[in-house]
Amino acid sequence: MVTSDADAQRRILNRLRRARGQLNAVIDAVENGGSCRDVVTQLAAVSSALDRAGFAVIATAMKDCLADPETTARTEDGLTTEELEKLFLTLA
């Protein structure tokens, strides 16, 4: 489970849906011979939206760990704080 926080889950899903819409725009532009500028601009938007969603997932997991460090040495997904740090750095 990514998060039990309904508000955080809503924000993450909104970011992912935005990225999906932007990716669809990239695909349409490529299929219809769109300009290089438009394609690259949309690709940058997709990349940014995905990065933000990834950061939100990791930040939420870290927040959950900090909220109760005694009982959450691992997240519900079985990740340690060190593993969360590595995941965070893969997005940086």
- The pLDDT value given to residue 14: 92
Beta-ladder partners of 80:
74
Helices 81-91 & 36-67, crossing angle to 10 degrees? 170
- The pLDDT value given to residue 62: 75
Query: pLDDT tens, 8-61?
Result: 889 889 999 999 999 999 999 999 999 999 899 999 999 999 988 888 888 887
More confident residue, 75 or 41: 41
Beta-ladder partners of 74:
80
- What count of Cα atoms within 13 Å lies in the side-chain half-sphere of residue 25? 18
Average pLDDT of the residues in 80-92 = 75
- Domains (range + CATH), the chain: 6-91 (1.20.58.1000)
More confident residue, 42 or 86: 42
